[in-house]
Structure 1
Amino acid sequence: MTFLDFVFYIFIFVVCIQVFFNLLIFRKFAFSKHKTGASETIPVSIIICAKNEAENLKKFLPSIISQDYPLFEIILINDASKDKTLKVMESFASTNNIIKIVNVKNIEAFWGNKKYALTLGIKVAKYDNLLFTDADCKPVSQYWISEMSSHFNETKTIVLGYSRYMKIKKSLLNKLIRFETLLTGINYFSFANIGLPYMGVGRNLAYKKSEFFNANGFMNHMNIRSGDDDLFINQIANSKNTAICVSHDSFTESIPETTFKKWYKQKRRHVSTANYYKIQHKVVLACLYISQLFFWALAIALFLTAYKWQIVLALFVLRISLQYTIIGFSTKKLGEKDILPLFPFLELFLIITQLTIFINNQISKTNHWK
């Protein structure tokens, strides 16, 4: 067997892995129908942790205060901000009695730790149903609370939502950021859909206060500054207690980074937490990413050598067409249809970026929170 024979057979194996993921996992989410929740109104506590977010609170907090929902409170956590965040919070609280403020000051044991600030806010919450978002986020509709909270029931104590980034016209970086967010959403929704939830995004996430205290809060990973959302969900979520909510009215929208350097730094923080996932989740996600990386690397190598190019081309088209179809249906579900035409280019660029991030994270530690 020659070296090219070996590469060719590895390529076939990689394509099979990719087909497996797409047909048995991602297809089920892409073609699934949205499940509506219960119509019963339950009390909800909105939790927003802010650090130096005075301007964003002025801009986005009104969209939460004006939600069309009869029974909710807003817990605003000022995490040792150095700007006018606390004053902005107090200004809103003076005219809205649904707002409670938790003013957190740095202490030596938990210096700059968002999980500590969140814990204090959760303790203050009056209701058992907690709904989380960030200060730089806004719900896309006035029915955000009702859509997300409708999926709580006796068994479903965690609700995973979707948070997209705002569109910036004629910006390739913006499409890359939104494509990465789309793929992340497809991944965690798809795995949760088959009973293997592994993460959530704190910009749009809900869980029961009782779940938090039953798990001793963030204590299992308090020393890891990031991961208040994905690590916590990775710890407590299972096939029975987790629901997904993908109705368009349930989405939140965030301000994206406008430079590659800032986005790259942000992604380094996010990716670093994956090292602490449960072993079965790390194995599955590693297989997914490695198969994507090898698919492109081996396909390019085989095309350049023209080795059995007809078969290689057929396998390449099979995988691209299958994933294009699944991502296409997912973009309709998650409201990101304009990204689809750039799919192959964005995927290849993202895979290279993720590889670079992985290498950098092995060399040096990342900074967390703000």
Structure 2
Amino acid sequence: MILLDIIYYTFIVIVGIQVLFYLFLFGRFSFSKPSKKSPKKISVSVIICAKNEAENLKNFLPSIVSQEYPDYEIVLINDASHDETLEVMEAYKSKFNNIKIVDVKNVEAFWGNKKYALTLGIKASKNDYLLFTDADCKPVSKYWVREMSSHFNNDKHVILGYGAYSKIKNSFLNKLIRFETLVTAIQYFSFAKLGIPYMGVGRNLAYTKKEFFNANGFINHIQVRSGDDDLFINQIATKSNTTICYTKDSITISPPKTSFQDWFKQKRRHVSTAKFYKLKHKVLLTLVFCTQFLFWILSIILLASLFNWQIVLSLFLFRIIIQYIVYGLSAKKLEETDLLWLLPFLEFFLIISQLTIFINNLISKPNHWK
């Protein structure tokens, strides 16, 4: 009984911490209103790094070249591909005069390092305002460049956007992938609103060339194969220079992984960079995960043992309701409301998956850029 008493009071504390997180941290984004900015008359370079992405470029480049923006170039980086990526790029360049190709050859010191290829692409770009996406990403609107670039001003040099994944009917894995993407976005948008931005996603991200060169590019973490997006943003983003953009026209969408094994490998790569984040970010993110994990474990123990089950169940449901409100408002902003009816199940499976990924990364190193 003494053990169950300890578990019970620990559970009460954990619920309290979780509610505070949802209301005062994640609520920063959930209860906010999108900031609609007037279009800026600035020149933008859209940068896309591709390695063996011929088919994706055929499918998704049309949505990039058809953007309605008066002055933008498209910098296509061929990172030592061995398929027809370069040929596809050249075919598009022959039709559109705002396309520039950077053909990167492997260099022994930077073999297979995406950061090296991106650096060459950034150096080759002619504009100071840089907008990044991936070869398999499609802006949902022809106003994507306009929306993202409209948030640049004299103070804001880093713009964090949302990169969604397309929906697949009757697929639990697809919902899990999209839920993880939604939760991650809620976290990095909320942290940015709180004034402690810690990451962005390369599928939809913008910053100035000046910020890139002031930070000496990726040199501080060039030895880390991943992290051209999140680690770089973790390095340069501050309360004063960073803002978020999540208007409907600013979202990009990508095809998700269709097997658990492929998604697991992808997430292992992403998670491997987190250990290089600034200490304050690691502490907060660890606290968020640990309290989520303990909430579920302690709930299961207490409810299974029927220890003060009425109070435990009430606190459990109270926390779930708070989560539904906060996540529901965020999901509506980001066009992901179909995930809500499975929310508790998705959260439980995501926590187990994240714990498994963390343990696997401790045992062996994940693979990186293709």
Query: Which of the five TM-score ranges fits, normalised by the shorter chain?
Result: over 0.9
Please give the alpha-carbon distance, in whole angstroms, between the structure 2 residues aligned to 1:182 and 1:26: 12
Contact 2:202 2:228 in 1 (8 A): yes
Aligned 1:127-206 pairs, distance under 5 A: 127-206=127-206
Q: Which residue of 1 aligns with 2:270?
A: 270
Q: Which residue of 2 aligns with 1:329?
A: 329
Contact 2:40 2:146 in 1 (8 A): no
TM-superposed CA distance for 1:37, in Å, is 1.7
Please give the alpha-carbon distance, in whole angstroms, between the structure 1 residues aligned to 2:41 and 2:367: 40
Q: Which residue of 2 aligns with 1:255?
A: 255
Please give the alpha-carbon distance, in whole angstroms, between the structure 2 residues aligned to 1:145 and 1:180: 26
Q: Give the aligned length.
A: 370
Q: Which residue of 2 aligns with 1:9?
A: 9
Please give the alpha-carbon distance, in whole angstroms, between the structure 2 residues aligned to 1:75 and 1:150: 20
Provide the secondary structure at the position in 2 that maps to 1:159.
strand
Please give the alpha-carbon distance, in whole angstroms, between the structure 2 residues aligned to 1:81 and 1:104: 9
TM-superposed CA distance for 1:40, in Å, is 2.4
TM-superposed CA distance for 1:56, in Å, is 0.4
Which stretches of structure 1, 4 residues or longer, exceed 3 Å deviation after superposition? none
Provide the secondary structure at the position in 2 that maps to 1:95.
coil
Contact 2:174 2:258 in 1 (8 A): yes
Q: Which residue of 1 aligns with 2:51?
A: 51
Q: Which moved more, 1:1-10 or 1:225-234?
A: 1-10
TM-superposed CA distance for 1:41, in Å, is 1.8
Please give the alpha-carbon distance, in whole angstroms, between the structure 2 residues aligned to 1:39 and 1:7: 54
Deviations 1:203-249 (A, max 9, x none): 00000000000000000000000000000000000100001001010
Q: Which residue of 2 aligns with 1:26?
A: 26
Please give the alpha-carbon distance, in whole angstroms, between the structure 2 residues aligned to 1:365 and 1:28: 35
Residue type of the alignment partner of 1:330 = S
Q: Which residue of 2 aligns with 1:106?
A: 106
Please give the alpha-carbon distance, in whole angstroms, between the structure 2 residues aligned to 1:223 and 1:337: 39
Deviations 1:102-128 (A, max 9, x none): 000111100000000000000001000
Please give the alpha-carbon distance, in whole angstroms, between the structure 2 residues aligned to 1:107 and 1:40: 38
Please give the alpha-carbon distance, in whole angstroms, between the structure 2 residues aligned to 1:16 and 1:171: 34
Please give the alpha-carbon distance, in whole angstroms, between the structure 1 residues aligned to 2:28 and 2:118: 34
The answer to whether the aligner puts 1:228 opposite 2:228 as a matched pair is yes
Provide the secondary structure at the position in 2 that maps to 1:10.
helix
The answer to whether the aligner puts 1:364 opposite 2:368 as a matched pair is no
Provide the secondary structure at the position in 1 that maps to 2:82.
coil
Aligned 1:117-132 pairs, distance under 5 A: 117-132=117-132
Please give the alpha-carbon distance, in whole angstroms, between the structure 1 residues aligned to 2:41 and 2:62: 22
TM-score, length-normalised on structure 1? 0.99
TM-superposed CA distance for 1:258, in Å, is 0.5
TM-superposed CA distance for 1:27, in Å, is 1.3
Runs of 5+ consecutive residues of structure 1 not aligned to the other structure = none
Residue type of the alignment partner of 1:218 = F
Please give the alpha-carbon distance, in whole angstroms, between the structure 1 residues aligned to 2:26 and 2:40: 31
Residue type of the alignment partner of 1:263 = W
Residue type of the alignment partner of 1:346 = L
Please give the alpha-carbon distance, in whole angstroms, between the structure 2 residues aligned to 1:29 and 1:137: 24
TM-superposed CA distance for 1:28, in Å, is 2.1
Deviations 1:344-369 (A, max 9, x none): 00000000000000000000001101
Contact 2:39 2:149 in 1 (8 A): no
Provide the secondary structure at the position in 1 that maps to 2:94.
helix
TM-superposed CA distance for 1:135, in Å, is 0.2
TM-superposed CA distance for 1:38, in Å, is 3.0
RMSD of equivalent CA atoms: 0.7
The answer to whether the aligner puts 1:42 opposite 2:58 as a matched pair is no
Contact 2:131 2:204 in 1 (8 A): yes
TM-superposed CA distance for 1:39, in Å, is 2.6
Q: Which residue of 2 aligns with 1:343?
A: 343
Aligned sequence identity (%): 65
Residue type of the alignment partner of 1:41 = K
Provide the secondary structure at the position in 1 that maps to 2:155.
coil
Q: Which residue of 2 aligns with 1:116?
A: 116
Please give the alpha-carbon distance, in whole angstroms, between the structure 2 residues aligned to 1:196 and 1:46: 26
TM-superposed CA distance for 1:95, in Å, is 1.0
Contact 2:182 2:331 in 1 (8 A): yes
Q: Which moved more, 1:195-204 or 1:10-19?
A: 10-19
The answer to whether the aligner puts 1:245 opposite 2:245 as a matched pair is yes
Contact 2:43 2:129 in 1 (8 A): yes
Residue type of the alignment partner of 1:297 = I
Please give the alpha-carbon distance, in whole angstroms, between the structure 2 residues aligned to 1:105 and 1:63: 27
